[in-house]
Amino acid sequence: MREIYFDNAATTVVSPAAAQTALRVMTEDYGNPSSLHRMGVTAEGYVRDAAKVIADTLKVSANEIFFTSGGTEANNQALFGAARAYARRGRRILTTAMEHPAVAEALKSLAGEGFEVTAIPVDGQGRLDLEAFERELSPEVILVSMMLVNNEIGAVTPAREIGRLLKSKCPDALYHADAIQAYGKYPIYPKELGIDLLTVSGHKLHGPKGTGFLYKNERVKIKPLIYGGGQQGGLRSGTENVPGIAGLGVAAKEAGEHLPERTEHMYALRERLILGLRELPDVVIHGMPGREGAPHIVNAAFIGIGAEVLQHSLEDRGIYVSAGSACSSHKRAGSPTLTAIGASREELSSSVRFSFSELNTEEEVDEALRALGELLPVLRRYRRR
């Protein structure tokens, strides 16, 4: 049976070049980058080269890139590190009600430490209420944390407007952008957008799992989460994951070199899928229309069919989709994102996410639509019984 993988927002296949590089480092150039001998210097070179490649894609300096074990650690480092470093200036943090758990749970913990966390509302398609955001800006705001692309519905946050408002109203506040679903899909230049802290996960862009990075503007001082030998300028101690970092560097380079054509291809797939879904009965599509939304994510509710039932029915045909965010799928509660946009209870229980990479094809989209056309009447009839 042919495999059709439409769960790329959860994870992606590692690119052959990234995998080969990681394997070479694990088996040949396996020195500790803190060692002073030749093997150590070679290992350090991989870390340095990956930082430069990533920095070039963001138009920042390599010394502003810090490697982590993934997006969750990067988000936690940015949020806890910034909040605790700037707590004397104020205690207010602004965010949205549709953040990834790696941000939402960290902010919940910070609220327990006495920080005031305010969630800015969004409309029914996931657009940030910029007027409400501007009203909340005050001298006590020390940090704003908002994802660039929502991981469930692909809603895009107006980063440039957020940065502009912060600069004019709260010039001392820090702007953290979770770019885990945006990096490799859009050109992102933090210094132009006013972003101080930006976080990325390697396995979302064909890099190895267990890798990620934090961009930190060199003028920003934040507190470490991990203490030890003082690696990475003391911000993230511990021996670097050199094989993973080297693989991540390759994946970042590939993403940067082919960004426009990859993005255009994914938009074409998204538009093709949405057109087909609109032909099916009782389907509600969530998120921003057209190219307002991210190129790789389509979220749709198939009214009358449980999301997991449809997920496994498609899986039986070799088609892999998600019944919610991979990082929160173990939780019973409904999606905070769908709740924030005002989705009905029936939509909450029947929403499925399709997410693409540049490796997917139009033929795969058509095959998925054919499968849905056959499955939906059967599953709805079964439920009515």
Residues known to be catalytic: 327
Contact 301, 337 (CB under 8 A): no
Which amino acid, 42?
Answer: T
Collect all residues with Cβ–Cβ distance below 8 Å to 132 and sequence separation of at least 6: 120, 121
Q: 242-257 and 259-278 are packed helices; what angle lies between their axes, rounded to 10 degrees? A: 80
Identify whether the C-beta of residue 130 lies closer than 8 Å to the C-beta of residue 169.
no
Assess contact for 157 and 178: CB atoms under 8 A.
no
Output the CA angle 75-340-349, nearest 5 degrees. Answer: 105
Strand partners, 353: 299, 322
Contact by Cβ (8 Å): 142, 174: yes
Length of the chain: 385
The rounded radius of gyration (Å) of the Cα atoms in the chain is 21
What does the alpha-carbon distance between residue 294 and residue 337 come to, in Å, rounded to a whole number? 15
SS3 201: strand
Across 3-19, b (16+ Cβ under 10 Å) vs e yields ebbbbbbbbbebbeebb
Spell out the residues 6+ positions from residue 85 whose beta carbon is closer than 8 angstroms to its own: 221, 222, 223
CA torsion 243→247→249→254, rounded to 10°? 170
Separation CA 140–CA 136 (nearest Å): 10
**Cβ contacts of residue 274 below 8 Å, gap of 6+?**
285, 298
What is the rounded distance in angstroms from the CA atom of residue 272 to the CA atom of residue 93? 39
Under DSSP, is residue 218 helix (H, G, I), strand (E, B) or coil? coil
